[in-house]
A and B are shown apart, each in its own frame.
Chain A
Amino acid sequence: MDREAYRRAFDSLRFSPDFQDRTEALLLEWVNRQEQEEATMNRKVFRRPAVLAAVIAVLMISVSAAVVLLNPSQVAEEVNDPLLAEAFQSEGAVLLNESVESESYRITLSGLVSGAGLSRWAEDVEEDRTYAVVSLAALDGTPLRHTDFSFGEYTLTPLVSGYSPMAVNNWTLGAQASCIERDGVVYYLLDTQSLEMFADHTVYLAFYQGFLPSRELFSMAEDGSIAFAEGIAGPHALFTLPLDESKADPAAVEDFLESSGINPMLGFGS
């Protein structure tokens, strides 16, 4: 490999000359907006569990979806990961098919599996990871297509009770979500650092329209449970993952939090 040829190739890219100016302006605007919001915020971050229950009750959870969906193994096949497809058929996989109807969509958590070397992308890494499949379909059967539906506007992220959604989420866990569309249904395949270490807490999988988890999107009760903030727009769902509590690893959680450098209660308490 010729290092100079490699450098020439990347130096030939023409990024916007005003990128730095635009980015600085964008970040400053964001900071100013946050400071204004904090100054005027008169609602408490913590909400009572009873209020949370009322919010959650708005979401209808059922155990079966009306449309025929690809199963998690088929989704893994579709993203060209036969190793993961096999893992989703193993005894260790959990198939759920839990659906939430939100706005005019049905959001379904199909299943999850955890372990090391389960994916073609991680077969040479001795690190446990968790994979989960969530789908999004229109309730009236309208096909969701790339041409008229922005799949990238949605976020699928793990959250853990007792920890700020801004501290434990897909970013800090090194998660990635693939998405594909098949027969008008969008499938998201989440690939994240293993969630089993948190199994002595309630571990959630949140799907929503938006980007970073924030106080505008989530609230936390005094007991540490997490729910969507009232009045958020767009289809959203919060699933609870059935993890084996015996696999909890508080020492690994402590290491994770320390290495992330983020206050575990960031934005939600001290």
Chain B
Amino acid sequence: MAPFGTEEAIRRLVETYSAMLLRLAATRLDSVQDAEDAVQDVFLKLLSAQPSFRDAGHEKAWLIRATLHRASDIRRCAGRIVPLETAESAPAREEAPENELLSAVRSLPPAYSAVLHLHYYEGYAIKEIAALLRLPAATVGTRLARGRERLRRMLKEDD
């Protein structure tokens, strides 16, 4: 099962990437349990597909893209599609600031939330996000600006 099928390789993958992938899945999924399921599915997919990566950067990029896709599938197929307009105009609830921000991030279009999260939590620059998501840097820049503006608007409206 080389290169990912050994106990050592599995431990390395899980210890290196779990925390980052769980947070990433949580940008699209309300439930912590769903996020954990999504990340386990992705690790299983990696073992099954056994891709050969040129370097650690490609491995990480593959895991990030796979996690975003799996989280979207789980969210969409659980009947939790919420039209953006509806989500943004929903009345504000009494929430802790952390929960408020999490809800706002999850209400963003997935294309925006992924870029925002990789920038604001993981600290990636625009060019790095472009390489991770296989997108033009200009597209990443646009999504970051639009996502930031929408998030700011949503949080301001909740004040």
Residues on A facing B (Cβ under 8 Å): 1, 3, 5-10, 12-16, 19-20, 23-24, 26-28, 30-31, 34-35, 79-80, 121, 124-126, 146, 151-152, 154, 166-167, 170-172, 174-181, 211-212, 214, 259-263, 266
CB–CB B48/A166 < 8 A: yes
CB–CB A261/B69 < 8 A: no
Partner of B14 from the list A15, A20, A125, A261 (CB cut-off 8 Å) is A20
Partner of A1 from the list B47, B96, B120 (CB cut-off 8 Å) is B120
16 A-B pairs in the complex with CB atoms less than 8 angstroms apart: A6-B121, A7-B121, A9-B102, A10-B23, A10-B117, A13-B35, A13-B102, A16-B36, A20-B15, A34-B5, A171-B45, A176-B73, A181-B79, A262-B50, A263-B50, A266-B49
A interface footprint on B95-127 (CB within 8 Å = 1, 0 otherwise): 011110110010001110000110011000000
Partner of A23 from the list B18, B117, B143 (CB cut-off 8 Å) is B18
Residues of B within 8 A of A125 (CB): 135-136, 139
10 other A-B residue contacts (CB within 8 Å) besides A125-B136, A176-B76, A181-B79: A9-B97, A9-B101, A10-B121, A13-B22, A13-B102, A24-B10, A34-B47, A171-B45, A261-B52, A263-B52
- Give the residue name and chain of the B residue nearest to A125 (CB): B139
Residues of A within 8 A of B26 (CB): 10, 13
* Separation of A174 and B99 alpha carbons in the complex (Å): 30
* Separation of A5 and B1 alpha carbons in the complex (Å): 42
CB–CB A31/B10 < 8 A: yes
Residues of A within 8 A of B91 (CB): none
Partner of B54 from the list A16, A30, A261 (CB cut-off 8 Å) is A261
CB–CB A27/B14 < 8 A: yes
CB–CB A31/B47 < 8 A: yes
CB–CB A261/B101 < 8 A: no
A139 → B minimal CB distance (Å): 22
Residues of A within 8 A of B48 (CB): 166, 212, 214
* Separation of A122 and B11 alpha carbons in the complex (Å): 36
**Chain B, interface residues (CB within 8 Å), range:** 35 or more
B2 → A minimal CB distance (Å): 11
CB–CB A151/B10 < 8 A: no
Known: A13-B26, A23-B40, A28-B7. A124 touches B121 (CB 8 A): no
Q: Does B90 contact A (CB under 8 A)?
A: no
* Separation of A260 and B84 alpha carbons in the complex (Å): 32
Closest 5 CB pairs of A and B: A261-B51, A152-B77, A9-B101, A9-B98, A80-B83
CB–CB B49/A262 < 8 A: yes
CB–CB B78/A6 < 8 A: no
CB–CB B101/A151 < 8 A: no
Known: A23-B39, A174-B65. A261 touches B53 (CB 8 A): yes
Known: A28-B7, A261-B62, A262-B49. A179 touches B76 (CB 8 A): yes
* Separation of A230 and B79 alpha carbons in the complex (Å): 32
* Separation of A3 and B122 alpha carbons in the complex (Å): 10
A interface footprint on B61-94 (CB within 8 Å = 1, 0 otherwise): 0100110010011101111010111000000000
* Separation of A38 and B142 alpha carbons in the complex (Å): 48
- Give the residue name and chain of the B residue nearest to A212 (CB): B48
CB–CB B50/A266 < 8 A: yes
- Give the residue name and chain of the B residue nearest to A154 (CB): B77
Residues of B within 8 A of A24 (CB): 10-11, 14
Q: Does B41 contact A (CB under 8 A)?
A: yes
CB–CB A176/B143 < 8 A: no
CB–CB B22/A176 < 8 A: no
CB–CB A178/B49 < 8 A: no
Partner of B40 from the list A6, A10, A26, A154 (CB cut-off 8 Å) is A26
Known: A20-B15, A262-B49. A80 touches B10 (CB 8 A): no
User: Most chain-B Cβ atoms within 10 A of its Cβ — which of A8, A154, A172?
Assistant: A172
CB–CB A80/B81 < 8 A: yes
Residues of B within 8 A of A174 (CB): 65, 69, 134
